[in-house]
Structure 1
Amino acid sequence: MNRSIWQQWRRWFANLYRYPAPIRILVFVLMLLLLWLPFALPIYRLLTDQNLAGILALLLLYSEFLWLVGVWGRRVYRQPQLLWQYGLEFSQRSGLELLSGLGIGLLSILLLFGIEGSLGWLVWKAPAMPLVRVVLEGLLVAIGVGFAEELFFRGWLLDELQRDYVPSVALWGNASVFAAIHLRLITLPALVLLGATLVWAKRACSELRIGRRRERLGLPIGLHAGLVWGYYIINVGQLVTYTNRVPAWVTGLENNPLAGLLGLILLSGLAIGMWQFTCRQRATVRW
């Protein structure tokens, strides 16, 4: 009996690619949670240091995600190199794209705060801790966040959506899920814009392989990491104080630049720039 149930499950799982994208996505997420919770709950219960528990639980979650992607590729799509198809590669080309994105993201944040400072909306002050330490810590955190979120959202999730929907629907669906899952209403419009920008960044780095387009993740990982890095340096280093000369909705509600008018303008500029870059890059590629 148990063997029969197992065989039925394997047949159903092998035919999962026939189901619509929302069902495939739901099944994947449920499987990931079922794998994670039996180990994560004891971690939170046994460790008194909740920060350490959170870090360990997230590392476990992502390790299981990477393992499940491998199973997903082999069993559902018969594609053993699914991470490569998502755009993850360790090459000089991808490294240069990552560095380019990192620079664009960091300079964008510095430009945003620089403009606010020049307008008298904030004042710069000495860092609360050694700046070198903040910069290096921020870089490690930013690369980790950029890698993890981009492989999940612009890798796995975007791939699932693109299998069923036209590019525009996949893009805005991906951006909407990315924004909603962060559970912050005040940053929702900005995160939708950011999600779309990161999809365009990925599509700008594409190539034709064996009759199908493959897009690389280096640029979106770098861009995402650069934005996180810049904000980490300024926020954790406590480098600025707002003067309250303008309403908080201009500079950012709760001191979050993504929740302000100027932040939305910055992200709109990034989105337009990446969209134009994608159009130019695609025009040079023969499909």
Structure 2
Amino acid sequence: MYLLWGESVGIALTILLYCEFLGLIWWWGHKISKYSHPFRYYGLSFTVKNGRDFLFGLSLGSVTLCVFMALQVGFGWLTLQTVNWLPLSARLLPTLGMYFVDWQGAIAPGLLTAIGVGFAEEMLFRGWILSELERDYSQKTALIAASLFFAILHFIKPLDVVLATWSQFVGLVILSIALVLARWRCEGRLGVAIGLHGGLVWCYYIVNTTHLLKPTGIVPEWVTGINGNPLAGLMGIIFLSAIALGFRGLPKR
């Protein structure tokens, strides 16, 4: 498909390959692991309970990132980029129009992207891979292995980029630990993990697309997030650790 149609087929090819992956893990679960309902075993079930879990996770992820950024604005580490209120009324309306178009073009596409990313990555890392590791190893070993695997696969980059953004690796490991604990606390369902992952991606997408926030330079990038990525900063790692500890402290349902 790529050779025939070039770059324009990139997204379609990605979706096709992921559908193939879903078919393969269903076959693997049904024929190799002998599960009667492979997707349900991997945490994917279309039930009201899992839907509520998803909405809770989406809200938690969105609110967490909003609080994270609001605190940094309050500390003076980030500044809000507001509309340029020009004195000439003839130029004011076009400015406002562009501002709202930016937001309109960020919220809905961002939500769709976030849900897609959340579903795809959770079904792979906290669904299939974690479940298969749990078959042969202890929960602790499965947790560590799945989290390292998640971080390493996100870090296949040139060496200079790896060294420049090393703190993001720590953030990815802690994020994975939080998502694994979220699944364990919900009877193995993936709803909260998909929602939480999606909520974080959604808020980050909106802020990036609208250029809402800008670092003031008062503190180093490794505090707020290298290249604006919350996962690559001390504050982000602290917030993710708090979420992980919160799920760890919850009783299993």
TM over 0.5: yes
Corresponding residue to 2:130 among 155, 158, 164: 158
1:170 aligns with 2:138: no
CA distance in 1, matches of 2:240, 2:33: 35
Q: Give structure 1 stretches of 5+ with no counterpart.
A: 1-42, 207-214, 283-287
CA distance in 2, matches of 1:195, 1:136: 26
CA distance in 1, matches of 2:233, 2:33: 42
The Cα of 1:66 is off from its aligned counterpart by: 1.1
Corresponding residue to 1:251 among 221, 224, 231: 224
Corresponding residue to 1:62 among 18, 32, 49: 18
Letter in 2 for 1:229: W
Paired residues of 1:109 and 1:230 also in contact (CA < 8 A): yes
Paired residues of 2:102 and 2:209 also in contact (CA < 8 A): no
Within a 5 Å distance, the mapping from 1:1-287 to structure 2 comes to 43-48=1-6, 50=7, 52-126=8-82, 127=99, 129-183=101-155, 185=162, 186=165, 187-206=168-187, 215-277=188-250, 280-281=251-252
Paired residues of 1:70 and 1:80 also in contact (CA < 8 A): no
Letter in 2 for 1:44: Y
CA distance in 1, matches of 2:31, 2:178: 32
Letter in 1 for 2:140: S
CA distance in 2, matches of 1:181, 1:115: 31
CA distance in 2, matches of 1:136, 1:273: 29
- Give the TM-score taking structure 2 as reference length: 0.86
Matched length: 228
Q: Give structure 2 stretches of 5+ with no counterpart.
A: 83-98
CA distance in 2, matches of 1:261, 1:128: 32
CA distance in 2, matches of 1:154, 1:147: 10
Q: Deviations over 1:116-159 (max 9, x none)?
A: 10111111123584313311111100000000100111110011
Percent same amino acid at aligned positions?
42
Q: Deviations over 1:134-185 (max 9, x none)?
A: 1111110000000010011111001110000010110111111011100164
Relative CO higher for 1 or 2, CA cutoff 8 Å, sep ≥ 6? Answer: 2
Paired residues of 1:128 and 1:238 also in contact (CA < 8 A): no
CA distance in 2, matches of 1:110, 1:134: 15
Letter in 2 for 1:201: A
CA distance in 2, matches of 1:136, 1:75: 39
Secondary structure, in 3 states, of the residue corresponding to 1:47?
helix
Secondary structure, in 3 states, of the residue corresponding to 1:79?
coil
Structure 1: 4+ residue segments shifted above 6 A? none
RMSD: 1.4
CA distance in 2, matches of 1:143, 1:172: 25
- Give the TM-score taking structure 1 as reference length: 0.76
